[in-house]
Each structure stands twice: as C-alpha cells, then as structure tokens.
Amino acid sequence: MKTKLQLIQGAAALIAIFALGGLLSPTTAFSQTNQSSQDTQSCQGPTGSWRYSVPEGSAPAIQGVDTYSADGGYATADVIGGLFQTAGIGSWACTGYNTWVLTFFTFNYDPSSGALLGTLEYRQTAKLGPDGNTFTGSGEYEYYDAAGVGVGSGSYTITAKRIIAGSPLPTHL
C-alpha cells in the first residue's frame, strides 16, 4: 500500500512532466515565435522622435515633440494653453500594419504657485504615412482635477513629421 508521501511525490512528478511537456511542445514554441514574428513584420511602428502639431480651431496649434522607443515606451513634451505640464509618459503597441495605439498622461501645475491642478490622460490611434516619415492620428483625452475627479474631456487630431538625425528640424507640419 502506498504511503501519503509516495502519492504526493507521484502527483508532483506528473505535474512536472505535463508542465515541461507544454513548454517543450514544438507546437507551443512555434506559435509563440510565429506570433511575435508576425507582429514585428506587420507594424513598422513609430519608433523614433517626431515633431507634432495638434490643431486648436482658430487658436494656434499645439506644437510638441515626442519619442517612441522600440520596447513600447513613450515620452512627449509640449505646452498647453499656458499651463505648465510635465513630460507625458506612456506606452504604445502595434495594432496592425503601420498602425498603433498610444496611452499616456501628464501632470499639470499652476505656473505661478506650482500647485498640482490635475492630470490629462490621452488615448490615441495613429497610422504611419507611406513615406515612413509622417503619421496622422486621432484621440481622446480626459482631464482630472487634483482630487482625481473627471472635469472635462475632448477629442483631437494629430499630424507629425519624423526628426531625422543630421537633417534640419521640420518647421511646418
């Protein structure tokens, strides 16, 4: 008759065999590699630095710069309506051939007192242009006050030109 210890050891051995079998399965390994390869091939993505413009009706367009890292990181800098805002930080991911989604946020401060006014959170979709050096997109933003209460939202469009090392900065978007 088997002891309790032997039954536990046998069950542990079976679990280990099934777990290793799943990890070493050629089908599992192929599908993971294949999926990663497909994602890389279907999206050139926005990796690099860009100068962008967001039209504001009859007011001057918001101008800014942003950088997309190859690992999905994102950083941006601009000024909105005289408010001081921190650099925007977020992440992006491919959604298809030369298209991606972006989510990021900024903190906004009163320029005279330095008091936190709130945060802006953005969600954007974009598509790389045929030349690979422009993109267009649209998005939505939500503004939260310092207590985290939603106090406003809206939508926007964006156009951007790639900043190319050694070339003059794009002056018109």
- Render pLDDT for 139-173 as a digit per residue (tens, 0 to 9): 999 999 999 999 999 999 999 999 998 887 666 66
Q: Is 109 exposed, middle or buried (0-12, 13-18, 19+ CB in 10 A)?
A: middle
Q: What is the pLDDT of residue 18?
A: 30
pTM beyond cutoff 0.85: no
Q: Provide φ and ψ at 42, rounded to 5°.
A: -85, -10
